[in-house]
Structure 1
Amino acid sequence: MNREWIPRPQAVRQIWPFVATFCVMVLVTFPTTEGIVSRWLKLDESYSHGFLLAAVSLFLTARAARIHPVKAGFYPFWLVPLAACFIVYWLGGLIRLQALQQLVMVPMLLSTFAVLMGWRQIRWFLVPLGLLFLTVPVWDFLSWTLQLITVSVNQFLLGFANIEFEVEGVFVYLIGVGTFEVAHGCSGLRYLLVGQALVLIYGEMYLSRLRSRVTLFCLGVAFALVANWIRVFVIIYMGYETNMQSSLIDDHENFGWWVFAGTLVPLYFLARLMEKRDDESVSSQGIDIEREGIASGHDMTAVAVIAALGLATWLALPDKHGNIASEPEGYVIDLRERYAPVFGSGLDGWRPDILNPDRVYVQTMFDRQQARSGQGLGMTFYLGTFTYEYQRNRAELIQYSNRLYDRDFWIPEGFFDVENSLNIPVQGVTLKHRVSGQRVHLGYSYFVQGQWETDQWRAKLAQVGGFFSGRDDASLLISAVACDGCAVAVTLAQFIESTFPVILEQIDQEVVQPGR
């Protein structure tokens, strides 16, 4: 059978509108796209599948274009959702909320191509292009909920294992054995994303009925969650049986993927049954060009309109380059009247890991007054302030790279509130070193555009409300103490009451006032 080949000039004619509009999207969203790709490069995170899934998306898109040939035209109705996407993207840049910009990336791409193809053609590309949504790092918002669900399920399972335990938040305390933290990496987010991708790909390639695709997708989500629950339960159980000596505790990542692979066996058995049940005689569909508004053949007009909207959005975006200083500036904070510095930028081996702040103050110190009276012997304080004058790509207060402690060396042992006379909400946490057993006690709070928060996601959302306050700055204020037998909450409160007002005065002078 002879295969028909599209002449090269004709092929270029059909492809160039899509290439041109895609380049416009890259130009408009480049800082956001760069931030997404940088997450793909972190192989130990939940989005390391990004490059592979992008390649699969490209393959499925080409496959859909071969099965359902398309012809570029101009369908003005789809300018409405495209303009809405541009407005949301611009608003995200205006209020310094990168997550909002990332959230609208894939809808923006689909709306752009819908302007060129209309519904009858773009519908074949919803799954191939929609797969890219699973690579966008906005799914972290589900992590905390997934952690709590995992703890609840394991609390139920451990009840049948005759194990003495207590649960507090995301911590499982095995009485007389040790403590497990169901941390971000134990939420099952990465299994959920990969599981969704696999069933969507299978459904796109082998299933013909929408009901079968939806059923397989729901099964894929369920099996991915179950795989993580089994993984966490086995690790906790083996830790209990071996008195925390099991190799699974240190190598739980590889074990998790083996469990996940095991759950794929029954999943794809069910998928095969659905495939056989689907009608295999799918009526052949030729070129089906939708006639709505201005008919196909006006692709140059469509590209021009899309480019004009994109250029207007790009010009309206504030701080498009998002410059990051090579070295942060320092605050000039004088606490010598009460405190004396101690050499070092950490406290007993602990220090926070904060990426690309604009201004920093970090100091370890001791209390002169307590030292003179002999009451503060063996008590050391830490004071840190990390400020972003405005938030942008790779320089945000709430981002995955910013961590209060290194999870490889420190484990939270308990949480508490630090009540103080300043009426500042401060979250307290006691950290224990995994090897030495040394303890440090932290008290921290986020100061985002004039609003105090102790929860990361509330601090993220505070960027929206802060837009109306006329401020762009965001800071992490963190205090810490290492002591033996002291009243931790009271000691931290006194330290905060004597230091935070000085820091806030400096933030107002160095960050807020110059911008007014």
Structure 2
Amino acid sequence: MLKNNYLRILSLFGLLCAVWALVFWPTLQNMEAVWRSSDTYTHCYIIPLIAAWLLYDQRQFINAPAKPTLLPLLPALGCAAVWLVGYAADVNSLTHFSAVFVLQLLTLSLLGWQLGRQVAFPLFYLIFMVPFGDALNLPLQDLTATVSVYMLNLTGIPVLREGLYLTTPVGQFEVAEACSGLRFLIASIAIGTLFSFLTYRVWWKHLLFVGAILVFSVLANCMRAFFLIWIGETSNMQYGFGADHFVYGWLFFALVMFSMFWLGGRYADKAPTGHAGATVAVPAAFWQPVGCALLVLGATLLLRSQITEIAAPAQAEQLAAPTGFSTEPARHWQPGFQDGLARLQVWDATGNGYLLARYGHKQQKGELISWNNRLYQRKTWSETNHKTLTLSGESYQLMELRSESGEQQVLFYQYRIADHRTTSASKAKLYQVLALLSGDQSYSEVRAVNLPGALLDMQPQQLEQAAARLQTLP
């Protein structure tokens, strides 16, 4: 009887998962694409497997009866509404989190509060499937640079800081995106949270250990960067860079994680004893919550189908260059935005580059503002300055960039959503949603200018002329 009841619950859970995956399939595809294309999130592939293993490993402690409830369906409905807004606006953070929250809440509705409490952690752990934290890269880079300068000064090594570039007597070092420590931070939080669940039984120890993992991961990355610069400085760049750069980094992080787990394990709580012979009951009112859950998913799917999507071409249409512009192959500037409806990248006689990328407010594939659409190659260039300025009566966001070799360039850009102009990505997303809701059939655009050289060497008239030429693009 016990086995049959479990099979009924698992069968209905499988049904909900299948319908959930159908409804949120675009989001699941997008999440997997992020996992596949970024080393920071490759661990996300094994998160569902870890959750399943936890359920199996803790099976002797799962003995409460299943008592489905309708209450979790109310916040699930709200999360579905948030997902629809995020889906319409192509805001991945909203769609990713909302989709996972809906699955967790539907599962809780199926199991009930008592059984849900016993499987709470494996259910919660699914949140680590979401590829979050990318916005922390720049603050972590800045913190790493600040701590490295402080430590170098303590050791008596003179250092000049220019943004994310640190210059010492033996050379110049860049605190690149890969040096931010975000990859290690996210992975260590996921692993540390799992370790905490398996080791402790009281809530304050969970919070203390995960908080310590977070703090020490950030500090460890700062110290790693400092030691690499110190080794390079004291060895006249003979050690600390090249292949040993990565070996040293991972050995350092492994030592930090081992130390944290060893220290945390010394204060482990006594493991609870399991219980056998549990009865998992399936009450008569079981199908009511399941039916309501399917109704929520069905309504979400229906509303999703009402959002108008434009079929994007396999390759963006290449617009004709206006008179006075050249369509030479890309030189030093290689922006993204290749997945839109139309695109134009040209140069003028002075060597300034111009970009126009046009998108539908909602495309089946590709979006104006996304994690992989960048105006510059982040592996090659780093941002040293940014500000908002007005040129030729239009507002632009300006960025000054610098490469590891010391080259500099200036970018300024704006978004155009129907009749709106903005330099804010969040406002651009909002305007796209409003355009969709109003049935606007126009387009969304990004327009950008690239000027080789340092900002200090440029005259205001030069920026004005470049902005005026940008306005002449079709």
The reply to whether TM is greater than 0.5 is: yes
The answer as to 2:346 corresponding to 1:363 is: yes
Tell me if 1:350 matches 2:344. Answer: no
Establish whether residue 190 from structure 1 lines up as the match of residue 183 from structure 2.
Answer: yes
CA contact (8 A) 1:479 1:496 kept: yes
Counterparts of 1:161-240 in structure 2, within 5 Å, are: 161-169=155-163, 171-175=164-168, 177-240=170-233
Matches within 5 A, 1:60-209: 60-69=54-63, 71-169=65-163, 171-175=164-168, 177-209=170-202
Aligned counterparts of 1:439 and 1:48: Cα–Cα separation in 2: 33
Q: Is the 8 A contact 1:418 1:493 kept in 2?
A: no
Distance 1:26 1:173, change over 3 A: same
| Other-structure match for 1:427 | 398
User: Which contiguous aligned blocks of 4+ residues in structure 1 show a shift greater than 6 angstroms?
Assistant: 483-486
Equivalent residues, number: 469
Which stretch of structure 1 is more off in the superposition, 64-73 or 85-94?
Answer: 64-73
Q: Is 2:425 the partner of 1:459?
A: yes
The 3 A distance-change label for structure 1 pair 392 and 76 is same
Question: Is the Cα–Cα contact under 8 Å of residues 141 and 179 in structure 2 kept in the other structure?
Answer: yes
- State the 1:122 CA deviation: 1.3
Work out the percentage of aligned pairs sharing the same amino acid: 20
- Work out whether residues 216 and 271 of structure 1, in 8 Å CA contact, stay in contact via their aligned partners in 2: yes
Q: More displaced, 412-421 or 440-449? A: 412-421
Over 3 Å counting, the alpha-carbon distance change for 1:240 and 1:495 in structure 2 is farther
Q: Structure 1: give runs of 5+ residues left out of the alignment.
A: 367-378, 507-516
After superposition, where does 1:498-513 map in structure 2 within 5 Å?
498-503=468-473, 506=474
Q: What displacement does 1:309 show?
A: 0.9
Q: Distance in 2 between matches of 1:322 and 1:109?
A: 28
TM-score, length-scaled by structure 2: 0.87
Superposed displacement of residue 410, structure 1: 4.2
Q: Kindly provide the CA deviation profile for residues 284-341 of structure 1, in whole angstroms up to 9, marking residues without a partner as x.
A: 4874879xxxx8343322222111110111110154877442011233452x1xx242
2 CA distance for matches of 1:486 and 1:158? 29
**1-side partners of 2:378 and 2:283: how far apart?**
57
Decide whether the 8 Å contact of 2:325 with 2:346 is kept in 1: no
How far apart, CA to CA, are the structure 1 residues paired with 2:205 and 2:18? 36
2:23 corresponding residue in structure 1: 28
Residue 327 of structure 1 is aligned with which of 311, 315, 328? 315
Q: Is the 8 A contact 2:400 2:408 kept in 1?
A: no
Which stretch of the first structure deviates more once superposed, 160-169 or 29-38? 160-169
Letter of the 1:442 counterpart: L
Three-state SS of the structure 1 residue aligned to 2:448 is strand
Matched AA of 1:201: L
The equivalent of 2:414 in structure 1 is 445
How far apart are residue 439 of structure 1 and its match? 4.9
SS of equivalent to 1:80: helix
Q: CA RMSD in A?
A: 3.3
Contact 1:481 1:492 in 2 (8 A): no
Aligned residue identity for 1:500: L
Closer, same or farther: CA 328–461 of 1 in aligned 2, 3 Å: same
Q: Aligned partners of 1:285, 1:215: CA distance in 2, in Å?
A: 32
Deviation at residue 356 of structure 1 after TM alignment:
1.2
How far apart are the structure 2 equivalents of 1:254 and 1:392? Answer: 42
Gaps of 5+ in 2: none
CA distance in 1, matches of 2:20, 2:420: 34
SS of equivalent to 1:114 = helix
Structure 1 residues 394-422: Cα deviation after superposition (integer angstroms, max 9, x where no partner):
62233232233334444556667665232
Alignment TM-score, normalising by the size of structure 1: 0.80
1:359 shift after superposition: 1.5
Structure 2 counterpart of 1:375: none
Q: Which residue of 2 aligns with 1:309?
A: 296
Specify whether residues 340 and 117 from structure 1 end up closer, same or farther in structure 2 by C-alpha distance, changes over 3 A only: closer
The offset of 1:260, in angstroms, is 1.2
Instruction: Verify the 8 A CA contact 1:443 1:492 in the aligned structure 2.
Output: no
| Partners of 2:356 and 2:284 in 1: CA distance | 59
